[in-house]
Structure 1
């Protein structure tokens, strides 16, 4: 018998930001899959667990085998609908078996922290992805939210945007370690961002 696979968004990091229904599903799970940090934070004694690593296929194989015997709960950071394992699971399993519980994404939290509506923002991820440079073109009033990584960090992105025609005094927000006690949000111009130490893993919001 094939059992259900519940994909649970665990929010941006700190436990305060996980939805109660998500925590309930995690606590009830007999089989739990997630990143190493998520497993360290949420797995309990008696649960069968497997980490999500760079070897995504290994996690898929574990989920497939275990879901023949039990329901499986898969934890993903942020919201499952925003750059998570969900597309890979949709490719591997019947949609009727997949249940999805939303979470607060780090992107959503970043816009909340700086008090900006984001319904008209252009959202993109440069995390492990080459940027579409045409998509960075300047338009007056344009609002962009970006996921960054070690290569496309805050400093590098600021340089790319300046090369794409954004004014030097454009307001940028570099949001780091969101939801944690050591959270940092830096408001600088794009020009200032090029001169500061690069922040590797953050949300960067730019308001044209």
Structure 2
């Protein structure tokens, strides 16, 4: 019988926000894959662990080797269906049984922290990609949510929105990082002020027009 590949969303990172069935699968795992931070937070003694460093071909080879004798649990930040490793792993292991347990995305968590709804928001990612220009245009009353990275942090995105897509500098915005952790940081300001904000490399930017 083929072993199972389990993809578990660990939400914003704090174990308090992981669904109980996800915690159960993690605790039962013999083989655990995740970022160094995730492994530090979730791994237990006796588990064989593999830290994800970005070299996906090496990761896939290692997982394939482990699946010959054990189930493999892969921890992904946020939700499994929102910019996670799930599409890559499905493509690499199409013949293995797959269990996917969702988590809370950092985007929805950010909106919750701000006390805002996201049902009509346009959610995008600047993390390793650039959204199409037509998705970034200014429209009064429009709400945007962005995942960010080191190159396109909230300051860079704010400048792009103002300089290239007509967003007023007075637009309300919020930059959110380390969500759910004790050192969580949320900066609420205008888009003009966010354009001068340092840091917040891997974070969430919410813009409310």
Please say whether Structure 1 and Structure 2 have the same fold, judged by a TM-score greater than 0.5: yes
Which residue pairs with 1:36 in the alignment?
36
Rounded Cα–Cα distance in structure 2 between residues aligned with 1:44 and 1:198 = 32
Residue 68 of structure 1 is matched in structure 2 by 68
The root-mean-square deviation of aligned C-alpha atoms, in Å, is: 1.3
Matched, 1:123 2:123: yes
- Name the structure 2 match of 1:47: 47
Once the two structures are superposed, residues 156-182 of structure 1 have per-residue CA deviations (whole angstroms, 9 ceiling, x without a partner) of 111011021011111001111110111
| Greater shift in the superposed pair: 96-105 or 193-202 | 193-202
2:195 is paired with a residue of what secondary structure?
helix
Q: How does the TM-score come out when normalised to structure 2?
A: 0.95
TM-score under structure 1 length normalisation: 0.95
Deviations 1:77-135 (A, max 9, x none): 11111111101011112266111001111111100011111111111110111342332
Report the counterpart of residue 79 of structure 1 in structure 2. 79
Determine if the alignment matches structure 1 residue 181 to structure 2 residue 186. no
Quote the Cα distance in structure 1 between the aligned partners of 2:104 and 2:172.
25
| Stretches (4+) displaced over 2 A | 130-134, 195-199
Is 2:18 the partner of 1:18? Answer: yes
Q: In 1, are the aligned partners of 2:126 and 2:146 still within 8 Å (CA)?
A: yes
Equivalent-residue separation in structure 1 for 2:197 and 2:152 (angstroms): 14
Aligned residues: 208
SS of the aligned residue for 1:32 comes to: strand
